[in-house]
Amino acid sequence: MPEPPAGGARGDGGAPRPVVTLESPQFQVRARRPRRAEKVAASAFVVALAGFAAFGGAYWQGANNEWLGGTLGVGFVAFGVAFVVWGKYLMPRGPFEEPRPMMAVTPDEREALVADFASRGKVAIRRRTFLLKLMGLAAGVFGVVAAFPLLRSLGPLPRKSLYKTKWRKGSYLTTIDGRRVRTSDVAVGGILTVFPEDDVGGAISQTVLIHVQEGGDIVTRPGRETWGPDGFLAFSKVCTHAGCPVGLYEELTEQLLCPCHQSLFDVRAGCWPVFGPAPRPLPQLPLYVDSAGYLRAQAGYDEPVGPGFWERGGTT
């Protein structure tokens, strides 16, 4: 691309440098009517003064947020306007230029540094390789040792904790208030968040209990013949996608919706994911109704609840 013609100001070679005087247009202000610009800037400073004073008053009086921020904001904006008018219209309009050296260094410059660096290093370091090795060893050991408190003390190792919840054989389904849930507590179409008794409010154990129909066992999948007694089903409430609580139940379609990323689970099909990003069904908690009418777990979950992780192999 052709370079635009060089400005005549630089005296390199051709055109003679123009005489710079105070009459030069670059030294004049931009404002056509400087008096008026000055008045605008002055009024802005006055408004700023008033704004700041009003902010002080509003603070003194304990005024509400609108007054506090409004006065402060008006003060700041007016203060800024004054500066901008002053700088843009009442100072030399320019333009001015400064030279810019290229960044790339000459080979000589680089050579000088590299030669110095290498020659000094040769004397100081390469003849002391034994020291160098010992230093490396000590620093390396420190690096490894320093990593322990950084990583190991921050939290426990996962071990098997991602595979387990607090649900056990015989666990009572318990509400957030700590009450044990009976079959009579949840009407048809109703939904209740339940926990094992020793982990009420637990983020991992949280389970959603749904009363799907009046009486009769519900078989969501082969092998789960006894898991849904008297029309009750229970699923982990932790979404298998990103771990949000699957909190919205669509009673008509019998579907659970995760409000975070809109994964949809078909309750009767064992909370199979029918829509959205969730890759796996919600794990089902096998239930039974004991002789006193309490809902209890036949066993814990038979798979890890919640989103996937590297060590969690295979499908369900």
Partner 1 sequence: MIDKLFAWFDDRLAISRGGRHLINKIFPDHWSFMIGEIALYSFVVLLATGVFLTLYFVPSAHDTIYHGVYRPLQGQKVSEAYASTIDLSFSVRGGLLMRQMHHWAANIFVGSIVVHMMRIFFTGAFRRPREVNWMVGATLLILAIFNGFLGYSLPDDLVSGTGIRIAFSILESVPFVGSYLAFFLFGGNYPGNGSIIPRFFILHVLILPLLILGLIGAHLGMLVRHKHTQFRGRGAREDNVVGTPLWPGFVAKTTGFLFLIAGATALLGALVQINPIWMYGQYRPYEVSYAVQPDWYMGWLDGALRVMPSWEIHLPGHMVPNAFFPGVFLPGLTFTLIYLWPMLEARFTGDTAEHHLLDRPRDRPLRTAFGASVFAFYFVLFGASSTDVLANYLSLTLNFVLWAFRVLVVVVPLVVFPVTYKICKELQATPGAGQRKRFNVVVRAAAGGYAVEPAPEYPGYAHDEPEPLPVEEIDLSAIEEEDRAPAGVYRIPRQYR
Interaction of residue 77 with partner 1, rule CB under 8 A: yes
Applying CB under 8 A, which of residues 23, 108, 177, 214 lies at the interface with partner 1? 23
Side by side, the strands of the sheet bearing 191-194 are 191-194, 207-211, 232-236
- Helix 65-89 × helix 34-61 angle, to 10°: 160
Interaction of residue 82 with partner 1, rule CB under 8 A: yes
Nearer to partner 1, 238 or 297 (CB): 238
Q: How far apart are CA 245 and CA 236, in angstroms?
A: 9
Instruction: Convert 38-61 to b/e letters by CB count within 10 Å (16 or more is b).
Output: bebbeebbebbeebbebbeebeee
Interaction of residue 252 with partner 1, rule CB under 8 A: no
What is the footprint of partner 1 within residues 124-143 (CB under 8 A)?
A: none
Q: How far apart are CA 194 and CA 10, in angstroms?
A: 81
Nearer to partner 1, 216 or 279 (CB): 279
Interaction of residue 78 with partner 1, rule CB under 8 A: yes
What is the size of the binding site for partner 1 (CB under 8 A)?
A: 108
Applying CB under 8 A, which of residues 56, 73, 121, 136 lies at the interface with partner 1? 73
Asked if 269 contacts 290 with a C-beta cutoff of 8 angstroms, the reply is no
Applying CB under 8 A, which of residues 13, 14, 16, 104 lies at the interface with partner 1? 104
Applying CB under 8 A, which of residues 13, 16, 65, 184 lies at the interface with partner 1? 65
- How crowded is the C-beta side of 264, counted as CA atoms within 13 Å? 9
* 174 DSSP assignment: B
User: Strand, coil or helix: what is 213?
Assistant: coil
Across-strand partners of 174?
A: 180, 195
Interaction of residue 263 with partner 1, rule CB under 8 A: yes
Label residue 13 left, alpha or beta by phi (over 0 means left) and psi (-120 to 50 means alpha): left
Q: How far is the CB of 141 from partner 1 (least distance, A)?
A: 22
Q: How far is the CB of 262 from partner 1 (least distance, A)?
A: 6
Q: How far apart are CA 230 and CA 217, in angstroms?
A: 5
Applying CB under 8 A, the span of 97-105, 124-132, 166-174, 216-224 interacting with partner 1 comes to 97-105
Q: How far apart are CA 116 and CA 266, in angstroms?
A: 73
Q: How far is the CB of 133 from partner 1 (least distance, A)?
A: 31
What is the footprint of partner 1 within residues 146-205 (CB under 8 A)?
A: 151, 154-158, 161-162, 176, 193, 195, 201-204
Q: How far is the CB of 225 from partner 1 (least distance, A)?
A: 27
Q: How far is the CB of 158 from partner 1 (least distance, A)?
A: 4
Applying CB under 8 A, which of residues 49, 74, 191, 289 lies at the interface with partner 1? 74
Interaction of residue 123 with partner 1, rule CB under 8 A: no
Asked if 100 contacts 12 with a C-beta cutoff of 8 angstroms, the reply is no
